[in-house]
Amino acid sequence: MTSLVPPAGSSPAELLKWASENGVREVDVKFTDVRGVVQHFSVPFHHFDEDVFTHGLGFDGSSIQGFQTINVSDLNLLPDPSTAFIDPIPAKTTLSIFCDVLDISGEPYGRDPRGVARRAEQYLKDTGIADVCYFGPEAEFFIFTGVAYDSQPNGTFYKVESSSGFWATGEMGQGYRPRIKEGYFPVSPTDKLQDLRAEMVEQLLNVGVDIEVHHHEVGGAGQAEIDMRFQPLLSMADKLLIYKYIIRNVAYQHGYTATFMPKPIFGDNGSGMHCHQSLWKGGQPLFYDANGYALLSETALHYIGGILRHAPAILAFAAPTTNSYRRLVPGYEAPVNLVYSARNRSAAIRIPMYSTSPKAKRIEARFPDPSCNPYLAFSALLMAGLDGIKNKIHPGDPADYDLYEEGHDTPTVPGSLQGALDALAADHDFLLEGGVFTPDYIETYINYKKAHDVDPIALRPHPYEFMLYYDC
């Protein structure tokens, strides 16, 4: 395996020397818009010098979703050398590097999602509660053999095809297709994607994304999971974006298409992104107590309490699409119940019980999905947890029972993106602590999501409405 990552801690000069020695021809600078969609442009290597790491590279912020208006469009990108790697996707040897967004004043740009994550990590240290929050997201996705979709004033449709899709058993072929909700864990030839996932894993490892395990997921039509090893918040958010980039491109190179859309298939499991979290201070874990419920400390319980209290608002960032709420319905292992429990996968917060090691003790928020902007979602989860610790918010009794049995009345997640945005509008003071989020960011985000997500879906006839109402 060839590493495409420079030595850790390389200065800009050391990074450029390493890049030159490795034949780099271009530098690709990357950042994200409000949605978490990676944006980029490339610079010939001979024009990319140390000065760029001080003065940045200019770009048009008015052309980026959720950023500037046209009359104040100029912004700068400041490359972060710690994020650099040689990109295995382009034909030319290309150094890829993530950037922070700066205003023309040289100050961090307030609407830069990566800047939110930076401030969240700093706020954590400033509180004195902990000095690092580790995140381990499990981003699920589907691998399809083809996709088609269109939306016109007089009609709309979508269709996906999968070599594993159970709906295709009526067609002549070689068989071995997982039944609905039976994709976890058949061997080949039922699991037709082993080699493709292995290629994805190899490419991820090469660019510095540490992988622990990969497998077919419950969704029968090619649902997959490749799990990353935990990292501090900002580093993990960077790596999740690299993860999605590599997976999409490797799938594309092999004639497949990968999607992180939360619910692309009706009647089968959707794709979540369960977020494992733990706080550490001075190299010691803070979530472990040998005498606590599920070996959890009081700090961990209060962290859970904060997340459960603020979960409806967090969902505006952690499940930020209208499609997210096709997944967040009862059944399908969907964590719609705002309770916590050891081992119970229908609870919003699960306590993994695989290990009794203090270092392994963590909590798992199960309601986020991989359509989110990780800088914003991880930061919102951390800020809610810290609010729970500061205000000693206890989560109540654990839900160690079947949440779908009658007689268990529990609070649930909002039923729509509009409901989550309303919750964020009503409950966001905890996000403003330490200037992590700003009132401008919250207001801009809510207005953007309403205009670009909620309203366009609400205004359009749905194909199934023709099934229900055409003969009314």
Question: Which whole-number Å values give the CA distances from 359 to 284, 286, 295, 342, in the listed order?
Answer: 8, 9, 11, 17
The dihedral sign for the CA sequence 326, 332, 333, 338: positive
Query: Would you name the residues annotated as active-site residues?
Result: 60, 138, 140, 217, 225, 274, 345, 364, 366
DSSP letter, residue 406: T
Sort residue 179 into left (φ over 0), alpha (ψ -120 to 50) or beta: beta
Q: How far is CA 131 from the centre of its chain?
A: 22
Query: Contact 294/350 with Cβ under 8 angstroms?
Result: no
Question: Residue 166: exposed, middle, or buried by beta-carbon count in 10 A (0-12, 13-18, 19+)?
Answer: middle
Q: How far is CA 94 from the centre of its chain?
A: 25
For the chain, the helix, strand and coil percentages under 3-state DSSP, each to the nearest 5: 35, 25, 40
DSSP SS3 for 101: strand
Query: Contact 251/269 with Cβ under 8 angstroms?
Result: no
Q: Exposure string (b/e) for 141-157, b if CB count within 10 Å is 16 or more?
A: bbbbbeeeeeeeeeeee
Question: Residue 361: exposed, middle, or buried by beta-carbon count in 10 A (0-12, 13-18, 19+)?
Answer: buried
